[in-house]
């Protein structure tokens, strides 16, 4: 566990941070919910990246405006996946 302790610390900080509720909902999306956006391997890659972006924002207390911009920069698939989270839906039109 020693070599992974930093990763656990970062994960704890993210899940206890500013966007913990959104991160929990995002992490809880099923494969079917993600595939409903766009089936295939690309959506899973984008989903994984999206989770990392929200984890980082949560850990660093990033503003919601900046987080929304970061999600938009990931592209249309990320925006569609993020819209499945009620707290993001309003900001991602």
What is the extent of the structural domain holding 45? Answer: 2-89
Please answer whether residues 46 and 76 qualify as being in contact, where contact means their C-beta atoms are separated by less than 8 angstroms: no
- Name residues whose C-beta falls within 8 Å of residue 13's C-beta, 6 or more positions apart in sequence: 58, 59
Nearest to 92 by CA among 59, 74, 46: 74
pLDDT, mean over the chain: 84
Angle of helix 20-27 versus helix 5-15 axis, rounded to 10: 110
More confident residue, 38 or 72: 72
Check pLDDT > 90 for residue 69.
Answer: yes
pLDDT in tens, 12-51: 666 667 888 888 899 899 988 888 887 777 788 899 999 9
Check pLDDT > 70 for residue 64.
Answer: yes
Number of independent structural domains in the chain: 1
DSSP string, 28-48: T--HHHHHHH--SHHHHHHHH
Angle of helix 41-60 versus helix 64-74 axis, rounded to 10: 160
> Measured between alpha carbons, how far is 42 from 50 in angstroms, rounded to an integer?
12
């Amino acid at each position: 566990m020693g070599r992974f302790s930093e990763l656990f610390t970062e994960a704890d900080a993210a899940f206890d941070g500013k966007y913990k509720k959104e991160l929990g909902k995002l992490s809880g999306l099923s494969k079917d919910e993600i595939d409903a956006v766009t089936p295939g391997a690309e959506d899973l890659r984008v989903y994984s990246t999206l989770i990392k972006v929200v984890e980082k924002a949560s850990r660093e207390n990033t503003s919601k405006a900046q987080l929304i911009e970061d999600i938009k920069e990931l592209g249309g698939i990320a925006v569609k996946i993020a819209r499945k989270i009620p707290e993001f839906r309003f900001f991602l039109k």
